[in-house]
Chain A
Amino acid sequence: MPHAVETTGLTHRYGSILAVDQVSMVVPKGCVYGFLGPNGAGKTTTLRLLLGLITLRDGTIHLLGEPLTAASRAALMRRVGALIEEPSVYRNLTGVENLEATRVLRGLPRAAVGRVLDRVGLSDADARRRVGGYSQGMRQRLGLALALLAEPALLILDEPANGLDPDGIQTLRDVLARLHQEGETTVLVSSHQLGEVERVATHIGVMRSGKLVRQGPMRDLLQHAEGSTHIRLSDPAAAATALASAGTTARVHEGRVMLETTSDAGIAAAIRVVVEAGLDVFAVDTEAPSLEAFFFASDADAGVTHTAEAS
């Protein structure tokens, strides 16, 4: 069965900056693929390449089993929906009119608008208001509706949870979960909200400095990931420094020190180091392997160090 997205050697430069470096990505059909990476890792450039928004110079792209070329782009994009960065909505129009503007361009039936509004949870009253008065979350919902308008076989979302309130995040989760259950749509979603991705994704890919450093089914990847240990103590920053000096990988996260191990020996050694550094230990918790731990383990593999608290 052909994959929904398959790239080989995808490379893109902005002048002298290598934004995407030999990316070979495989997104199986029907999956929800969480595309992770810090800001500037090359996620958005990769997604823009997949949509033909940037001219492909190096590498190949296959979408839904077909090669993406200038000649095939239009036919392929009939089956692709996308929300790239912030939603492209016209403030002078109502929500319905925004959808109409895209519906007309896509040559879709009128019924498509009502169906998609229902799907993203925009009420009829809100949909008939001018977008200029929308909150960021409502604009994001409308952007999602624009992406879903054509009932795409491949849905590409770039940071779709940005600006969403808890209700909006729940709606997004529900939409993605329903799409996955229905099995008709493959979702490629980039995000830096690891918790959200962990809830919805079946597969993940991790970008670092333009390279795709990990990808595969989340279950398989997490199986090989270590859990983590969180230590609450008097001075997390000083503890992280002491641990780093002792050769233990640690980082500060939400006011606690996080170790990428759950072994008794590892925890005992770390506590010895921080106590010898004169710090008070208040609590120690261990966590099963999580996407967050996996993500930061990928960091360590790639030689990335964290000096600031991770978001």
Chain B
Amino acid sequence: MQAALTDTGRAIRSQALRLRRSGVWLPTLGIPSVAIALAAIVLWSAEPAAVPEADLWAQIIQAAFGMWALLLLPLLTALVAAQVAALEHGARAWKHLLALPTWKGAHIVAAWVAVAGLTAAATLALATGIAVVGAITAMLQPLAAPTGAPLAKLFGAAGLVYAGSLLLVSGHLWLSIRWPGVGVGLAVAVVGVFSNIVLLNLGAGAVTPYGLAPSALIGGRLDLVLISFLGGLAVLIASVWYLSQRDAPA
């Protein structure tokens, strides 16, 4: 157990090094930037004092994180998972990694930490970006938003959405390790996202993993967050078992 933990720590350090200058940073930074820009447009186009500031911020948080949970975060997760796995697929590095004197599961756990960390960073960047936009608005257009963003609500929403997406992190990482390339993961994400939109419009609630984060946000439901966390853990354990049993790809 001690050896596995040591190996996992080393694998995480090595994984962090391998992310340098990789393509994974483009969606991680680009997708939240788009969401922040949209939130800024909504805020700066609001009529001064047309709605109470609290309601305005509630609308912005719900709109930004609703879009994040429903659409952008699943797509980001699919892209980031594919690009993290592509580091090994592209370098044909599985045979190198799996011939090293480390616990084989350490490489999967490290990749999971990378995907979870990057999606967390993107979600945090979104919340921080909206807070900054709020602060700028408070300075430049005090009539529209005199006090800036309510930080507790903002970061609370971010945490809820992120925790509700952990099952997606594990699922998309497994898909990306099993099938190299962005195609399969992204196709599954697109089908998942749009079927989830249909299901939510039909009032079906969180039927698929793609519905957990938006439903957790809308209803403030911690039970869905717990399902996402436990489901993500189960898929991660299954992925570790899968890689340990499977022959290394050529």
In the assembled complex, which residues on chain B have CB atoms less than 8 Å from the CB atom of A76? 101
Nearest CB of chain B from residue A190's CB, rounded to whole Å: 14
Which residues of B lie under 8 Å from residue A55 when comparing CB positions? 245, 247
Report which residue of B10, B92, B96, B102 has the largest number of chain A beta carbons within 10 angstroms of its beta carbon: B96
CB–CB A84/B99 < 8 A: yes
Tell me, in angstroms, the Cα distance from A78 to B6 when the chains sit together. 15
In the complex, what's the smallest C-beta–C-beta distance from A63 to chain B, in angstroms? 12
Does B198 make an interface contact (CB < 8 A)? no
Nearest-neighbour CB distance to chain A for B60, whole angstroms, equals: 36
Q: Which 8 A-B pairs have the closest CB atoms?
A: A88-B96, A77-B101, A88-B93, A53-B248, A78-B101, A51-B99, A92-B21, A104-B14
A-side contacts of B96, CB under 8 Å = 82, 84, 88, 102, 146
Interface residues on B, range: 20 to 34
A76 to B102, CA, bound (A): 11
Interface pair B97/A85, CB less than 8 Å apart:
no
Q: Do the beta carbons of A74 and B102 come within 8 Å of each other?
A: yes
B197 part of interface (Cβ distance < 8 Å): no
Chain B nearest CB, measured from A88 CB (Å): 3
Check if A100 is an interface residue, CB within 8 A of chain B: yes
The answer for the CA separation of A231 and B99 in the assembled complex, in Å, is 47
Are B17's CB and A106's CB within 8 A?
no
| Cβ 8 A contact of A53, one of B11, B13, B18, B95 | B95
Does B152 sit within 8 A of A, measured CB to CB?
no
Residues of chain B within 8 A of A86, CB atoms compared: 92
B1 contacts partner chain A, Cβ-Cβ < 8 Å:
no
Closest to B94 in A: A88
CB atoms of A104 and B99 under 8 A apart: no
Instruction: State the CA gap A130–B92 with chains docked (Å).
Output: 17
Is A232 in contact with chain B by the CB < 8 A criterion?
no
Instruction: Decide if B91 touches A104 in the complex (CB within 8 Å).
Output: no
> Contact mask A172-190 → B, CB, 8 Å, 1/0?
0000000000000000000
Rounded to whole angstroms, the CA-CA distance of A76 and B99 in the bound complex is 10
Contacts of B14 in A (CB 8 A): 101-102, 104-105
Chain A, range 1-56, C-beta contacts under 8 Å to B: 48, 51-55
Cβ–Cβ contact B95 & A84, under 8 A: yes
Task: Tell me if B202 counts as interface (CB < 8 A to partner A).
Answer: no
For the complex, give the distance between the alpha carbons of A48 and B245 in Å: 15
The answer to whether B21 touches A93, judged by C-beta atoms less than 8 angstroms apart, is yes
Q: Is the CB of B248 within 8 A of A90?
A: no
Identify the interface centre among B11, B20, B91, B250: most chain A CB within 10 Å of its CB.
Answer: B91
Residues of A close to B248: CB separation below 8 A: 48, 53-54
**Count of A-B residue pairs with CB < 8 Å:** 92
A303 at the interface (CB under 8 A from B): no
Q: A53-B248, A104-B17 are in contact. Are A75 and B91 (CB under 8 A)?
A: no
- Bound complex: CA of A80 vs CA of B248, how far in Å? 17
A53-B248, A54-B248, A105-B14 as given contacts; A85 in contact with B100, CB under 8 Å: no
The answer to the question of B44 belonging to the interface, with a C-beta cut-off of 8 Å to chain A, is: no
> Please, which residues of chain B bring their CB within 8 A of the CB of A75?
101
Q: CB within 8 A of A100: which of B17, B22, B98, B99?
A: B17
Contact A85 B250 (CB under 8 A): yes
Answer whether residue A91 sits at the interface, using C-beta atoms and an 8 A cutoff: yes
Q: Does A247 contact B (CB under 8 A)?
A: no
For the complex, give the distance between the alpha carbons of A75 and B250 in Å.
Answer: 23
List, sorted by A's number, 17 A–B pairs whose CB atoms are closer than 8 Å. A53-B99, A53-B248, A54-B247, A54-B248, A55-B245, A74-B3, A75-B101, A77-B101, A82-B99, A84-B95, A85-B95, A86-B92, A92-B18, A92-B21, A93-B18, A105-B97, A130-B21
A12 to chain B, nearest CB (A): 10
Q: Are B99 and A77 in contact (CB under 8 A)?
A: yes
A107 at the interface (CB under 8 A from B): yes
Do B20 and A104 have beta carbons less than 8 Å apart? no
Q: Which residues 78-132 in B have Cβ within 8 Å of A in the complex? A: 87, 90-103
A 89-111 contacts with B by CB, 8 A: 89-93, 97, 100-102, 104-107
* A97 contacts B95, C-beta separation under 8 Å: no
Chain A residues positioned under 8 Å from B245 (CB to CB)? 55
Please name all residues of chain B whose beta carbon is closer than 8 Å to the beta carbon of A100 when the two chains form the complex: 17
Task: Knowing A85-B92, A88-B91, A101-B14, say if A93 contacts B20 (CB, 8 Å).
Answer: yes
Q: A88-B92, A105-B102 are in contact. Are A93 and B247 (CB under 8 A)?
A: no
Of residues A54, A92, A101, A105, which shows the largest number of chain B Cβ atoms within 10 Å of its Cβ?
A: A105
A183-B91 Cα distance, complex, nearest whole Å = 32
